[in-house]
Structure 1
Amino acid sequence: ALNSRINAARRAVGDDGKRQHMIRTYPRRGFRFVAAVENGPPPGGAATGKEGRSAAAKPSLAVLPFANLSGDPDQDYFAEGISEDITAALSRMRWLFVISRNSSFLYRDRQSAFADIARDLGVRYVLDGSIRKAGRQVRISGQLIDAASHRQIWAERYDGQLDDIFSLQDEITSGISAALNSEITLAEIERVRKVHPSNFDAWDHCLQGAAEMHKLAPEAYERALSEFDKALQIDPEIVPAHVGLAWCHALAALHGWTRSGGKALELSVRHAHQAIGHDAGDPRAHVALALAHFWVGEQDEAVAAALPAIRLDPNMPEAHGVLGNALAVSGKARQADEPLQRALLGSPRDPMRWFWYHGKANAAFALADYTKAQEWARTTTAHRPGWAFGHLIGAASAALSGNPEAAQIELKRLLHLIPHYSLKRLSHHPIWTHQPDIERLIEGLRLAGLEEG
């Protein structure tokens, strides 16, 4: 839609639909670029780049050519292939601005400091790496640098065999792009904490909202809603705000933080559809819809919505994670392990990691492996103490495995987070759809001492 493209242009130059300092809307006539244009360096040394791009509009990254340290010029193609594949994979992330390969590769024989390269290219982050080959062994190292602070925010090393060079290249590309998905998000959240709220743009409000949402607390939920609403006031079509609101309303309904759980779930689905309506090519929008379906217990629809997200970005941990969660509670637990494991391996520090752990707990319970279910439930609540349903699985699994003391401890923690929870409420649990699993949950929690209600 034309409005989507205008909003994208405004974000690219640091403008928005409320201020309209640079691109102005003339009702029933059109749009006009109204800012003054002059040649010269960026004001205040801001990293806007030679072509006037704004690095402040959204996180921006340059993937520099990986250095070939093998001493064998014939391996240059492999080093360049890795860099090109990572650039292509990261470019699928619609929230991340990635400099093209042609621009980044001008620094193949770089002598400049990272800060200078970032300033030249107009980016906030630089991914640098090297490749060292010895016989059939290859070692690939990568590091992500915040150019403004000169801080290394991520580093990793990959070892492999050159027997199947293309499979190795795909594996490394997938690992790096999945890891950077969460690492850049974490770095952006940390950056925004140092920005005064009066200077926030729509993206900054989305980051603040996400940080509050992941605290899983009623007061934090209210702050998250406020931040996402502020983002939409600045840019009504910004996808991460709709994604965040879809999550917030669903979590509020599940935890009883709102008087109308049904209304909250309706809002969750509505915002997910709005996210897709604004940008159907953004995999986060499809993940939001998959999650909305998951929360309301429409697991076949959740699976169907997750698959387009994976097609758009095969390395997106959230897409694999929600797919695995939906399979775990819909009678297809044996199929859940592969996508959940891929989510966990692909994003070791993801703020969403607790949710993938919860999927593992649900899958283990569905398969009647109550020891594993308790282990994964404890891992879930260790990462997210406010997630009541981790304690629910823990209590039911402990009771069914013949450990009443552990079951009562988990039940007490569940009731602390959701007072007055009962077997009657559980029987209408919106997530589980496989009736035999629901019956075993009820049986386990009855043994643990949960009241009928």
Structure 2
Amino acid sequence: GILRARYMLSGSVQRSGNGLRVNVQLVDAAGGHHVWAQKFDGHSENALEFQDRIAQSVVLAVILELQLTNWKVRDKSPPGTPEVRRLVNEALMKYFEMTRDSLLVGIELAEKAFSIGPENARAKRTLSIVISMGVAFGALPRERGVIERAVELAEAAVRAVPDDEIARCILSFALESCGRIDEAIAECRHAISLNPSYPTGHGDISMLFALRGQVDEAVREANEAIRLGTHDVIDFWRHHGLVVALFAGGDNQRALEAARKVVRTKPGFVRGALYWAATASATGNNEEASRAIHHCLSQLPHLNLSNVCPGFVPRYVKDHHHSRFLEMLSRAGLPGS
């Protein structure tokens, strides 16, 4: 039979003395346009090391470029030098694993990329998002200086490339982390206006609407993000936004069902497990709620009612939503201090 490949990877090698230049291109087989291209420079005396470096860079870049293609996103930020690009791609692969350990490795890689290319917008926004997600997963302390740095890096990336929807969403997430909900919503709206098909824009604004108590808007945006995301590696985050919205709206049973799905998909996402505990408590599933709190404390033993929200979990804007969330966590067994 005929092999119908969606993409073709091709390349060429140029030699000048001991110098080597390898050009690699990923081409859309149907349309014929270039999805990604990169050149690599090395020396023939280090041929095996050079070959390994190219292979690693190509695999990482192709995976990430195909993810962007599935999201209908064309990355508008300059990639930087080959070394910056490689480090950024490695950091993003660790980011997409989304465990506390992987995020710490991602931060280290992104810091290296940023130190090599301090003016590179892609390095700045990558470091911002791994810091913000590190805080969200409990890998980094929720300290003012940490969150402010994530905001500053994302703001610099947006200034450098204002029409980059990825940077806009990363800035929105950093702003959410420090409680600047209205500003975060404005950045998400801008990202969606730049690319209505970008699932992260819809998913992030869903979370923000949920925190502000705009339940109908939050549910609509979460469902749109889930539809556009097609079960990718951060699909759990979009379902978490749905949980936050449904809990605020008092739809406890649906919130519990969605929260269970989030925890099954990403057990290390303690924010999700806290909502599992709250929704289980709200539906009278006391044993399950207790089990959920035990799951949270087994990963972050320092969590308690005085530091969980605001602190580890973003605060609902409306006091009655916030109070109810804490009440349900208390009933589930989260310690008072």
If the length of structure 2 is used for normalisation, what is the TM-score? 0.76
Say if 2:266 is the partner of 1:384.
Answer: yes
State the identity as a percent.
23
Tell me the SS of whatever aligns to 2:98.
Answer: coil
Query: What's 1:324 paired with?
Result: 206
The residue aligned with 1:367 is 249
Query: In structure 1, the residue corresponding to 2:97 is in which secondary structure?
Result: coil
Q: Tell me the amino acid that sits aligned with residue 261 of structure 1.
A: E
Task: Give the whole-Å Cα distance in 1 for the aligned partners of 2:256 and 2:35.
Answer: 45
Shift of 1:383: 1.9
**CA 1:123 to 1:412, structure 2 compared with 1: closer, same or farther past 3 Å?**
closer
- Write the distance in 2 (CA, Å) between the matches of 1:122 and 1:421: 48
Question: Quick one: distance in 2 between partners of 1:379 and 1:44?
Answer: 51
Q: Is the 8 A contact 1:215 1:386 kept in 2?
A: no
Aligned to 1:346: 228
For 1:437, which of 318, 321, 325 is the aligned residue? Answer: 321
| 215, 222, 234: which one aligns with 1:333 | 215
Task: Tell me by how many angstroms 1:275 deviates.
Answer: 1.0
Match of 2:30 in 1: 64
Matched, 1:285 2:151: no
Q: Does 1:242 align with 2:212?
A: no
Q: 1:177 to 1:314 in 2, by over 3 A?
A: farther
Once residues 414 and 328 of structure 1 are traced to their aligned partners in structure 2, the CA distance between those partners, rounded to angstroms, is 22
Do 2:138 and 2:300's aligned partners in 1 also have CA atoms closer than 8 Å? yes
* Structure 1 residue corresponding to 2:71, chosen from 181, 189, 194: 181
Partners in 1 of 2:154 and 2:226 — Cα distance? 24
Per-residue deviation, residues 330-350 of structure 1 (Å, max 9, x unmatched): 111211122211211112142
Match of 2:111 in 1: 229
- Are positions 1:315 and 2:205 aligned together? no
Question: d(CA) in 2 for partners of 1:183 and 1:298?
Answer: 26
Q: Does the CA-based 8 Å contact 2:210-2:241 persist in structure 1?
A: yes
> For 1:104-128, what per-residue CA distance to the aligned partner results, in whole angstroms no more than 9, with x for missing partners?
4xxxxxxxxxxxxxxxx66559xxx
Gaps of at least 5 residues in structure 2 are: 1-10, 16-20, 38-57, 76-80
1:236: how far off? 2.9
Amino acid in structure 1 at the alignment position of 2:261: T
Distance in structure 1 (CA, Å) of the matches to 2:309 and 2:93? 32
Q: Quick one: distance in 2 between partners of 1:223 and 1:231? A: 13
Q: Which residue of 1 aligns with 2:186?
A: 304
| Post-superposition offset of 1:218 | 3.3
The one-letter amino acid paired with 2:30 is L
Distance 1:214 1:316 in 2: 17
Distance 1:282 1:336, change over 3 A: same
Change (3 A) 1:348 1:63: same
Shift of the 286–211 alpha-carbon distance from structure 1 to 2, 3 Å rule, reads same
After superposition, the Cα gap between the structure-2 partners of 1:123 and 1:405, relative to the gap in structure 1 and judged at 3 Å, is closer
Q: Paired residue for 1:448? A: 332
Spell out the pairing of 1:5-404 with structure 2 (5 A cutoff): 42-43=12-13, 55=24, 61-62=27-28, 64-65=30-31, 104=32, 180-181=70-71, 201-259=83-141, 261-404=143-286
Deviation at 1:231, TM superposition (A): 2.2
Q: Is the 1:391–1:411 contact (alpha carbons within 8 Å) kept by the matching residues of 2?
A: yes
- Quote the Cα distance in structure 2 between the aligned partners of 1:292 and 1:364: 23
- Local SS of the residue matching 1:214: helix
Query: 1:183 and 1:211, CA in 2 relative to 1: closer, same or farther beyond 3 A?
Result: farther
Q: Could you tell me how far 1:43 is from its partner in structure 2?
A: 2.3
Residues 235 and 369 (structure 1), Cα distance of their counterparts in 2 relative to 1, 3 Å cut: same
Q: Tell me if structure 1 keeps the 8 A contact 2:213–2:245.
A: no
Answer yes or no: is the 8 Å Cα contact 1:411–1:448 preserved in 2: yes
- 1:322 & 1:200 partners in 2: Cα distance? 31
After superposition, the Cα gap between the structure-2 partners of 1:290 and 1:427, relative to the gap in structure 1 and judged at 3 Å, is closer
| Structure 1: gaps spanning 5 or more residues | 1-40, 46-51, 66-103, 105-120, 126-147, 154-175, 186-198
**Letter of the aligned partner of 1:442 in structure 2?**
L
Structure 2 counterparts to residues 406-417 of structure 1, below 5 A: 406-417=288-299
Letter in 2 for 1:431: P
Give the length in aligned residue pairs. 291
2:50 maps to: none
Q: CA deviation at 1:232?
A: 2.4
Report the 3-state secondary structure (helix = DSSP H, G, I; strand = E; otherwise coil) of the residue aligned with 1:314: coil
Q: Structure 1 residues 440 and 177, CA, compared in 2 at 3 Å: closer, same or farther? A: same
CA-based RMSD: 3.2
Give 1:179 deviation, angstroms: 6.4
1:43 maps to amino acid: V
- How many Å apart are 1:216 and its aligned residue? 3.3
Retained in 2: the 8 A contact 1:213–1:220?
Answer: yes
Give the CA deviation at 1:360: 0.7
CA, structure 1 residues 43+122, in 2 after alignment: closer, same or farther (shift >3 Å)? farther
What do the CA deviations read for 1:139-182 (whole angstroms, capped 9, x no partner)? xxxxxxxxx99xxx9xxxxxxxxxxxxxxxxxxxxxx9986138
Could you say what secondary structure the match of 1:201 adopts? helix
Contact 2:87 2:113 in 1 (8 A): yes
Distance 1:184 1:405, change over 3 A: farther
User: How far 1:239 moved relative to its partner?
Assistant: 3.1
Matches of 2:23 and 2:214 in 1, distance apart? 46
User: What residue in structure 1 maps to residue 40 of structure 2?
Assistant: none
Instruction: State the partner residue of 1:405.
Output: 287
Change in Cα spacing, 1:202 to 1:349, as seen in structure 2 (3 Å) is farther
